[in-house]
């Protein structure tokens, strides 16, 4: 095989391994990764072997005369050294051993496979967080199959499951039921996704921008009830962000998600949807904690009940 053919074979092997890795989410990923590793190893070893043999340095051929005089002949070409050694029945010194091309091939394919696996895993899977306001455990269904049951998370960070981004349906049902009560079509991304079965809770996303001069600014996003929320990168669940942050003179952002207690209370009391909508509009207009409290009190009056 010529050097060009070897290089082409190696490139094809790498492309095949990369293409196979992208299919991780749609098939048995251990088999795909193992197959890609073997193909990549063989291809890289072949390429490196051909190139290293071309760049192989001189070999010493030890010649022994009948008078026991020893002479070392240096050959600038490895093939010549082998032929001389074969004709004179003498050992060959120096140069690369026959197994050498496989060593860098193994190291190279290990590194390539490791990086490829990380990229493939990152693009093929996403973490979906689960939170709900039901009093009993809820089973999450993925593409028509029951996946796992979750109780109410309370004040702890929400539990999560790892799903393939190719998953197309998320559903839920009370634990023990044989079919999902509701399913929704999804297009999962690699961002922070929160699944709220039954849309039983409301959420608030807080984004704090820390400026290089030591100041900080805050943006609040009051979310309407929904079963699926795409929040983007999240640094904290239910926990306050720090008031200050070492920015090294640059600007940095941190984000946190909280439950909207007033809205959750409205949902639990089955307040009219119009009252919930007005609450969220009021909260978005508010500029202080006092104004937010006024919004909650207005909700209590609209629902006909005082908020405890």
Candidate from 99-108, 248-257, 279-288 with smallest mean pLDDT: 99-108
β-bridge mates for residue 220, sequence order: 206
Rounded CA-CA distance 52/56 in Å is 6
pLDDT > 90? residue 202: yes
* pLDDT tens digits, 4-13: 555 565 566 6
Same domain, 17 and 116: yes
Q: Residue 163: what pLDDT?
A: 85
Whether residue 187 is found in the same domain as residue 236: yes
The secondary element (H helix, E strand) that includes residue 249 is none
Q: Which domain holds residue 90?
A: 57-95
pLDDT category of residue 103 using cuts at 50, 70 and 90 = low
* 70, pLDDT greater than 90: no
Judgement on whether residues 290 and 194 belong to the same structural domain of the protein: no
Reduce the DSSP state of residue 162 to 3 states and report it.
strand
Same domain? For 35 and 137 the reply is no
> Strands across the sheet with 216-223, in order?
216-223, 203-210, 252-259, 236-237
For residue 292, what are the CA distances in angstroms to 27, 117, 118, 186, 243? 49, 47, 44, 33, 20
The percent of residues above 70 in pLDDT, for the chain, comes to 59
Residue of 1 and 82 predicted with greater confidence = 82
Say whether pLDDT at 225 is over 90.
yes
| Shared domain check, 249 and 308 | no
CA torsion sign, 75 to 79 to 85 to 91? positive
pLDDT band at 203 (very low <50, low <70, confident <90, very high): very high
Q: What is the pLDDT of residues 15-44, one digit of tens each?
A: 665 555 555 444 445 555 566 666 666 666
Measured CA to CA, the distance from residue 129 to residue 156 in angstroms comes to 12
Pair 153, 48 in one domain: no
Shared-domain flag, residues 236 and 301: no
Residue 139 in contact with residue 147, Cβ under 8 Å? Answer: yes
Residue 106 has pLDDT above 70, yes or no: no
- pLDDT digit string, tens, across residues 44-67: 666 666 665 555 554 555 555 555
Query: Structurally, how many domains does the chain consist of?
Result: 4
Q: What is the mean pLDDT of residues 149-158?
A: 83
Q: Which span out of 76-90, 117-131, 243-257 was modeled with the highest average pLDDT?
A: 243-257
What is the pLDDT confidence band of residue 125, given thresholds at 50, 70 and 90? confident
What pLDDT is attached to residue 75? 63
Closest by alpha carbon to 265, among 129, 133, 130?
133
The reply to whether 195 and 251 lie within a common domain is yes
Looking at residue 121, its pLDDT comes to 61
Q: Helices (DSSP H) in the chain: which residue ranges?
A: 3-22, 29-54, 78-88, 102-124, 261-268, 273-285, 289-303
Q: Which long-range contacts (CB under 8 A, 24 or more apart) does 98-101 make?
A: 100/52, 101/45, 101/48, 101/49, 101/52, 101/53
Considering the domain architecture, whether residues 223 and 279 belong to the same structural domain is answered as no
CA distance 81 to 75: 6
Q: What is the dihedral of CA 295, 296, 302, 303, to 10 degrees?
A: 160
When pLDDT is cut at 50, 70 and 90, the band that residue 220 belongs to is very high
- Please tell me whether residues 73 and 107 are part of one structural domain: no
Confidence of residue 114 (pLDDT cuts 50, 70, 90): low
Q: For position 54, what pLDDT does the model report?
A: 54
pTM equals 0.63
Domain identity same for 181 and 139: yes
Q: What is the pLDDT of residue 307?
A: 45
Q: What is the average pLDDT score of the chain?
A: 77
What pLDDT, on the 0 to 100 scale, is given for residue 42? 65
Question: What's the confidence (pLDDT) of residue 283?
Answer: 95
- The answer to whether residues 26 and 81 belong to one domain is no
Q: In this predicted structure, what is the pLDDT of residue 62?
A: 58
């Amino acid at each position: 095989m010529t050097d060009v053919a070897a290089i082409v074979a190696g490139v094809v092997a790498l492309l095949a391994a990369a293409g196979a890795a992208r299919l991780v989410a749609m098939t048995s990923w251990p088999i795909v990764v193992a197959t890609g590793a073997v193909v990549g190893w063989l291809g890289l070893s072949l390429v490196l072997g051909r190139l290293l043999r071309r760049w192989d340095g001189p070999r010493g051929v030890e010649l022994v005369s009948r008078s026991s005089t020893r002479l070392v002949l240096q050959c600038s070409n490895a093939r010549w050294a082998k032929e001389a050694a074969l004709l004179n029945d003498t050992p060959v010194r120096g140069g690369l051993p026959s197994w050498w091309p496989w060593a860098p091939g193994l190291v190279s394919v290990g590194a390539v496979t490791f990086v490829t696996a990380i990229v493939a895993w990152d693009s093929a899977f996403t973490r979906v967080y689960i939170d709900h306001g039901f009093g009993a455990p809820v089973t999450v269904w993925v593409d028509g199959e029951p996946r796992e049951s979750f109780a109410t998370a309370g004040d702890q960070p929400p539990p999560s499951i790892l799903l393939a981004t190719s998953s197309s349906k998320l559903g839920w049902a009370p634990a023990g039921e044989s079919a999902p009560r509701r399913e929704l079509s999804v297009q999962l991304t690699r961002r922070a996704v929160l699944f709220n079965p039954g849309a039983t809770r409301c959420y608030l996303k807080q984004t704090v921008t820390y400026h290089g001069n030591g100041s900080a600014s805050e943006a609040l996003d009051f979310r309407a009830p929904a079963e699926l929320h795409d929040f983007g990168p999240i640094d904290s669940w239910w926990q306050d962000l720090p008031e200050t942050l070492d920015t090294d003179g640059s600007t940095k952002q941190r984000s946190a998600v909280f439950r909207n207690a007033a809205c959750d209370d409205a949902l639990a009391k089955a307040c009219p949807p119009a009252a919930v909508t007005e609450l969220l509009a009021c909260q978005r207009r508010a500029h202080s904690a006092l104004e937010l409290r006024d919004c909650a009190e207005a909700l209590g009056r609209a629902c006909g009940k005082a908020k405890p």
